[in-house]
Amino acid sequence: MTEAPPHAMLVGSAGGHLAQLVRLAPWWEGCTRTWVTFDKPDARSLLADEAVIWAHHPTTRNIPNLLRNSVLAFRHVRRIRPDIVVSTGAAVAVPFFLVARLLRIPTVYVEVFDRIDSPTLTGRLCRPIATRFCVQWPEQQAHYPGSIVIGPLL
């Protein structure tokens, strides 16, 4: 009997956040995957043959969509029970990390490529609940002590 591959839930806004998650392909390509992103042309193109949960946008400082995405997170993380939740942000990551934390599912947050001089809001929110916190530049470690440098994804 063969063991099923691990299930990764990959959460990120469309655009650059999604592009950075896609660049992690050497890590996730052997996993069963469920993506969480926005229903945008780039996401539809990149994820044409993937399982996708379409999140609500915009998310930045939009309380109604934060609540909608919290319902999505609660429903889908609880139903799917992924082995890990990975995100590059932005705000759509927060409810999925919170639910994963409640269910004791490991989480990995990767701080974005283009924010070197200051931490992102999502990074600050996810840092305390992330199992692992990764940065792409050594300079970002000043904002996130104990983070792991993985190098640039873009």
Would you give the distance in Å from CA 32 to the centre of its chain?
A: 15
Q: Residue type at 21?
A: L
Domain ranges of the chain: 7-149
pLDDT reported for residue 1 = 64
Q: Residue type at 144?
A: Y
The token duo for 123 is: 């990074």
Would you give the distance in Å from CA 139 to the centre of its chain?
A: 21
pLDDT reported for residue 116 = 92
* Collapsed DSSP state (helix, strand, coil) of residue 10: strand
pTM for this prediction? 0.95
């399982």: which residue's tokens? 51
pLDDT reported for residue 58 = 81
pLDDT reported for residue 140 = 97
pLDDT in tens, the chain (154 residues): 678 899 999 999 999 999 999 999 999 999 999 999 999 999 999 999 999 999 999 877 789 999 999 999 999 999 999 999 999 999 999 999 999 999 999 999 999 989 999 999 999 999 999 999 999 999 999 999 999 999 999 8
CATH assignment, 7-149? 3.40.50.2000
Is 132 in contact with 108 (CB distance < 8 Å)? yes
Q: What is the DSSP letter of 56?
A: P
